[in-house]
Structure 1
């Protein structure tokens, strides 16, 4: 078995979509970076790599057995064993996971570029291990877990705000005030005001979702800021992401 040493990881917990496991250039100062002393490296098929990167289901038992207690963390000069963790690659991309003792990849991380290149060198000329995915439920994307295409090309901040907007729209759809949907659609597309008045709540919501789930722009951001006002949980996320925007601008000036 191949092993890697002195690995920097930045864990994203409970993420079923790979686009939320941020690449190195999107890591932030306040992210909790950890150092792994030793961890197994597995060369796997494209299918299994996609399953680990973009899902949160049970991993093959044979894979878990192969990596059992072979990872060590260093904390305060002491070595701690990790039940199930590994670096996996399909030869084109890399992801690290830790199951926290369960059977699914609860925590995921990318690697720093230098260590990513090392992974590709280590598996060069080798054949991928064939692990069988025993049972899997076909994954469906929805408003709270958008299709990767709808997040493509966005920055970490934009992805976070887009997810926030989708959470607010989902809440709006299921609220006791469906008449508000037409109001927000008019905010989004004021030119259509006279037409919007004739739409049913359902038609208005579909149109609002279809319009906002593509890309990201200043219009998206404006709508998001307005729609979450007065909701403390949403406002906290909004403020956190906007602090990052000002930090980013300050670092550029």
Structure 2
């Protein structure tokens, strides 16, 4: 088995979509970055790689048996064993995961560029591992709270997080399904539609609103998001966390 040593990881917990596991250039100073003493590396098929990277389902038992207690992290003078942690690659993409003792990839991390290159070098002469996995029995599903990757293409880490926040607020709006509220927010989003909005039913209003905001990200998206979450403490807190991170990043650039 192949192993990497002294590996820096920046774990993101509970992220089923790969686009929410930032690459090194978007890591932040306040992220909790850890150093792993040792972690196994497996070169696997693309279908299995996509299954692990882009979802949170059970990893094949044969796979788990191979990597069992092969990874270690150090905390001070103590060396801690990780039951099921591994770096996987399909020859193109690379990601690390840790199940924290379960059978699903709870935590995921990208690698720093130097260690990504080490992975590519190490698998040049390696044999691709085949584990019992039938991709025909698995189909990735996307929805409003788990957006299709095409809807976040080109967005920064902050923009993806705020778009996720916007979708959470829209989901609440859709659940309430108050026609007057829906008409109000569609008018906020696209004032040009105002003359025709009063003739639309809730289904049509929602369709127009969602179809309008689901693509890309802009100042208009950010403005709508900030207005929608006003008065909702949990969502406001999530906004504040992203805003603080963005402010810290700007200040860091200024100081440099």
Which residue is equivalent to 2:247? Answer: 246
Cα pair 2:178 2:202 within 8 Å, conserved: no
Give the Cα–Cα distance (whole angstroms) in 2 for the partners of residues 158 and 149 of structure 1.
Answer: 14
Q: Measure how far apart 1:221 and its partner are.
A: 0.5
Residue 78 of structure 1 is matched in structure 2 by 78
Alignment pair present for 1:123 and 2:102: no
Q: Deviations over 1:125-171 (max 9, x none)?
A: 32210112268542210000000010110001000000000000000
Unaligned ranges ≥5, structure 1: none
Where do residues 28-177 of structure 1 align in structure 2 (5 Å cutoff)? 28-133=28-133, 136-175=137-176, 177=178
Aligned residue-pair number: 253
Indicate the RMSD between aligned Cα atoms, in angstroms.
1.3
Give the deviation of 1:110 after TM superposition.
Answer: 0.3
- TM-score norm. by structure 2 comes to 0.96
Contact kept in structure 2, 1:60 and 1:134, CA below 8 Å: no
Structure 1 residue 78, shift from structure 2 partner: 1.1
User: Secondary structure in 2 aligned to 1:179?
Assistant: helix
Q: For structure 1, which segment, 113-122 or 197-206, has the greater mean C-alpha deviation from structure 2 after superposition? A: 197-206
Residue 176 of structure 1 and its aligned partner are, at CA, apart by: 6.1
Indicate the residue corresponding to 2:15 in structure 1. 15
With 209-218 and 133-142 compared, the bigger mean Cα shift is at 133-142
State how far apart, in whole Å, the 2-side matches of 1:113 and 1:178 are.
50
Q: Distance in 2 between the 1:166 and 1:153 partners?
A: 18
Secondary structure of residue in 2 paired with 1:185: helix
SS in 2 for 1:251: helix
- For 2:186, the equivalent position in structure 1 comes to 185
Runs of 4+ in 1 over 3 A off after TM superposition: 134-137
Q: Residue 142 and residue 218 in structure 1: after superposition, are their counterparts in 2 closer, same or farther (change >3 A)?
A: same
TM-score, normalised on structure 1? Answer: 0.97
Q: Which runs of 5+ in 2 are unaligned?
A: none
- What is the aligned partner in structure 2 of residue 230 from structure 1? 231
Which residue of structure 2 lines up, in the alignment, with residue 220 of structure 1?
221
